[in-house]
Amino acid sequence: MLNYLHSRSVQREFSESQPELMDLPNQDEKALRSDLEHIARLNGAFGGRRAVERLFHQLADPNSRLLLVDLAAGYGDHGRNLIARAREGRGEVTVVAVDFQFQTLRIAREATPPGEKMFFVQADARRLPFRDKGADLAFCSLALHHFAEKDALTVLQEMARVARRGLACADLARSRLAALGIWLLTTFIMRDPMVRHDARLSVRRAFTAGELTSLARRAGWPGLRQINFFWFQQAVLARVDASTRT
């Protein structure tokens, strides 16, 4: 970590031979559930949940009926929160939670109240099993850094293919300050071994604002906007123009 902080440039460090622990198959389910619950608590405490809500409200009428695809949904906490927020008004949100790991989907399903308008699909975010413009919105939160650059581009292209109204991708923003903040957080507060390993690796794998914006532009996102949030988080979003819908 000290070598990373003292390096002259903050290059992205990504290697498929060094995955995050939560991405490995056949994890100890108790440890994986604990890791996912920790991430959900961090989303609530450090603004990740509010950031996704903000993106949702900028892209959609909360009083309408919407179908949202949540890529790399993890614990499913963002989807459940958006469903609840819509229920408070006059809207209705149905969420299709997509994740590559079956264990993760099973834990997310167990955390979801019966009857919730949330469906779980095991699929690769680079090859979504949905028709073109089949959903209103496509979201991806805190997951793009799990992919090599070429695969991240493919994920963003798939999002643009399936969404007819809006797109949003939120993630960490790579910097020395972010790396220091994550190191302090996982040294003194969130000391779970899996959380510590994955969080420290995640911030080194994350894209800068310029890199994320460039990827979304190359993926064909229309009317692209970039937003910075507190606690080393960022997002790109795009509202699909009515003239481009099929």
The Cα 199–Cα 85 span in angstroms is: 28
The Cα 190–Cα 83 span in angstroms is: 28
List pLDDT tens digits, range 157-167.
999 999 999 99
The Cα 32–Cα 30 span in angstroms is: 5
Q: Which two structure tokens, joined as six digits, stand for 234?
A: 């960022």
List pLDDT tens digits, range 44-89.
988 999 999 999 999 998 789 999 999 999 999 999 999 999 999 8
Q: Whole-model pTM?
A: 0.92
pLDDT > 90: what percent of the chain?
A: 83
In single-letter form, the type of residue at position 104 comes to: T
80 burial class (0-12, 13-18, 19+ CB within 10 angstroms)? buried
Bridge-based pairing state of the strands 163-172 and 135-141: parallel
Cβ(120)–Cβ(97) below 8 Å: yes
List pLDDT tens digits, range 182-205.
999 999 988 888 989 999 999 999
233 burial class (0-12, 13-18, 19+ CB within 10 angstroms)? buried
